[in-house]
A and B are shown apart, each in its own frame.
Chain A
């Protein structure tokens, strides 16, 4: 694998994470528990679409085949998507969405904090913009986890259940392969072991404060990095790509 290929993969993965997560969050539009939260979740989705555009556009540029961010978003199929599985899982209730947001935003906060020092200037620039956004997502999600964890019995049970169910999808966030190794070597990618340590410390802190228990590490799901997904991704893509697929000649 060349360095270019590795950067392409790396950006595609980050772009796919943002794109698929924004898809799920945008499903909350007109569905949130209170109007104010509807606006908040939509804001996060907008931040993520912006990031997806930047990452996919850069991936397309590195690839050098003239593919745009839209080409990459709308013309790839299931096995060519490389987001983490946690991003594509259905929203479930508000507790599950918030639990996922806490896990992913915390991961992204530490990831992009370090990526600001990436030797690749484009990635560093995207990271600098992103870190401000995800810091807010992380705070917002953390505050809600406290409210739900230490709110009513029902909310406590719901958020605990969500955390337990999602836990097996968090291991994949810190997986590394050849792509990461090549780029870490050139100081383009970050050391995910360090990100993991900070992630674990933060999540443990929030959960404890929220009177929630931290799940034991058991089997961790994997596959997204290789394009092997849950059944849910296919449905996301068939919906998201419908117009582009049905009218391939059209410009929208």
Chain B
């Protein structure tokens, strides 16, 4: 690594309160895990936005290719039997 760098990049995910999903907040730069976590804390929770943070080296993220979207995501579109509204319930059936 070059001597004068801006350190490496980490992706930050935050949970706003226990029970919620972790949501991507942005990135920070840091040279190690502890620094990444502290920098994420100081950057993304200045207004008490989070109660838990994940940091992941950006290099470790594997992303789907938007050019593959047709094969990746379209086949799920016609599987309506996965949705509860696909089924006909007899009238009067409650809370099923």
User: What is A's interface to B at a CB cutoff of 8 Å?
Assistant: 34-37, 39-40, 43, 139-140, 143, 147
Q: Which of B15-23, B29-37, B71-79, B88-96 contacts A (4 or more CB under 8 A)?
A: B29-37
**A140 neighbours in B (Cβ, 8 Å):** 38
From the candidates B34, B39, B46, name the one contacting A36 in the complex (CB within 8 A).
B39
Query: In the complex, are the beta carbons of A34 and B29 less than 8 A apart?
Result: yes
**A37 neighbours in B (Cβ, 8 Å):** 39
Which residue of chain B is the closest to A140 with respect to CB atoms?
A: B38
Query: In the complex, are the beta carbons of B28 and A36 less than 8 A apart?
Result: yes
Query: Looking at chain A's contact residues, is the secondary structure mostly helix, strand, loop, or mixed?
Result: helix
Query: In the complex, are the beta carbons of A143 and B38 less than 8 A apart?
Result: yes
Query: In the complex, are the beta carbons of B31 and A36 less than 8 A apart?
Result: no
Q: Judge whether B42 is part of the interface by a CB distance below 8 angstroms.
A: yes
Q: Judge whether B6 is part of the interface by a CB distance below 8 angstroms.
A: yes
Query: In the complex, are the beta carbons of A40 and B34 less than 8 A apart?
Result: no
**A35 neighbours in B (Cβ, 8 Å):** 29
Which residue of chain A is the closest to B38 with respect to CB atoms?
A: A140
**B6 neighbours in A (Cβ, 8 Å):** 34
From the candidates B7, B29, B34, name the one contacting A143 in the complex (CB within 8 A).
B34
Shortest C-beta distance, A102 to chain B (Å), equals: 15
**B52 neighbours in A (Cβ, 8 Å):** none
- What are 22 A-B residue pairs whose CB atoms fall within 8 Å in the complex? A34-B6, A34-B7, A34-B29, A35-B29, A36-B35, A36-B39, A36-B43, A37-B39, A39-B42, A39-B43, A39-B46, A40-B38, A40-B42, A43-B42, A139-B38, A140-B38, A143-B34, A143-B35, A143-B38, A147-B31, A147-B32, A147-B35
Q: Which 7 residue pairs across A and B have the least CB separation, nearest first?
A: A36-B39, A40-B42, A39-B42, A143-B34, A43-B42, A36-B28, A39-B43
Q: Which residue of A36, A37, A140, A143 has the most chain B CB atoms within 10 A of its CB atom?
A: A36
Shortest C-beta distance, A206 to chain B (Å), equals: 14
**B35 neighbours in A (Cβ, 8 Å):** 36, 143, 147
17 further A-B contacts with Cβ under 8 Å, apart from A34-B6, A35-B29, A147-B31, are: A34-B7, A36-B29, A36-B30, A36-B35, A36-B39, A36-B42, A36-B43, A37-B39, A39-B43, A39-B46, A40-B39, A139-B38, A143-B34, A143-B35, A143-B38, A147-B32, A147-B35
Could you tell me the distance between the alpha carbons of A147 and B46 in the complex, rounded to whole angstroms?
25
Could you tell me the distance between the alpha carbons of A40 and B35 in the complex, rounded to whole angstroms?
11
Could you tell me the distance between the alpha carbons of A36 and B40 in the complex, rounded to whole angstroms?
8
Shortest C-beta distance, A204 to chain B (Å), equals: 21
**A34 neighbours in B (Cβ, 8 Å):** 6-7, 29
Q: Which residue of B7, B38, B43, B46 has the most chain A CB atoms within 10 A of its CB atom?
A: B38
